[in-house]
A and B are shown apart, each in its own frame.
Chain A
Amino acid sequence: AQSVTQPDIHITVSEGASLELRCNYSYGATPYLFWYVQSPGQGLQLLLKYFSGDTLVQGIKGFEAEFKRSQSSFNLRKPSVHWSDAAEYFCAVGDTGGFKTIFGAGTRLFVKA
């Protein structure tokens, strides 16, 4: 069965520092992979997605993610974090044979001045 693991429940980084949020998935084939961001009290906004092709994906707000098949990972990165990036981040895997999207439990990002 498909699953998504985000090992870090909380992460705190200083403003201006680099960021990497980890995501590991379990899926039998090449999955569709997504990163979403959720600000407090809001819905989810898509940051980026991977379907095929170049394994380094660029997204909005300066985020990027790299698909590594050998590690079953799709980590999210940003070179310089801004205070407005404080939010909860969800990694998700889509079923290539259908429509279901399975979400990880999320990583809450705190940004300190």
Chain B
Amino acid sequence: NAGVMQNPRHLVRRRGQEARLRCSPMKGHSHVYWYRQLPEEGLKFMVYLQKENIIDESGMPKERFSAEFPKEGPSILRIQQVVRGDSAAYFCASSESGRGRETQYFGPGTRLLVL
């Protein structure tokens, strides 16, 4: 059973470009979470999605960031007009249900570098 998959593992963008990060949850999981990890910091919750629904996006910056989890295909975290401050590791996690006690399984992350 494959784990959570994220691609690309590393992404380099110039300021003003768009970054698209993909996450395929574990088989059988329909709940996806995105986190951002800035250098020397812990993970910060960004958004929680179920298939075709955004459940909680309270951790998402108000502008330039968006997320989706379509009926078919991976979850996408999109960052428009990237700035240097967006440089971070972005982790996706998935779970079988959305309850707080449910274990979240993490992907290897996408390291975004904005030049």
Contacts and interface: CB of A to CB of B under 8 A. Distances in A.
Interface in A16-36: 32, 34, 36
B25 interface: no
B106 A101 contact: no
B42 interface: yes
Contacts of B48: 99-100
A81 B93 CA distance: 28
A99 B32 CA distance: 11
Contact of B100 (A45, A96, A105): A96
Interface residues of A, number: 26
B107 A101 contact: no
A44 B94 CA distance: 12
A101 B48 CA distance: 11
B109 A43 contact: yes
Given A42-B108, A43-B106, A43-B107, A99 B42 contact: no
Contacts of B93: 44
A74 interface: no
B104 interface: yes
The 8 closest A-B pairs by CB, nearest first: A43-B106, A94-B100, A103-B42, A44-B106, A103-B43, A105-B42, A95-B100, A43-B108
22 contacts: A4-B42, A32-B101, A41-B108, A43-B108, A44-B43, A44-B91, A44-B106, A46-B103, A49-B103, A51-B101, A90-B43, A98-B56, A98-B98, A98-B99, A98-B100, A99-B31, A99-B48, A99-B56, A100-B56, A101-B45, A103-B35, A106-B42
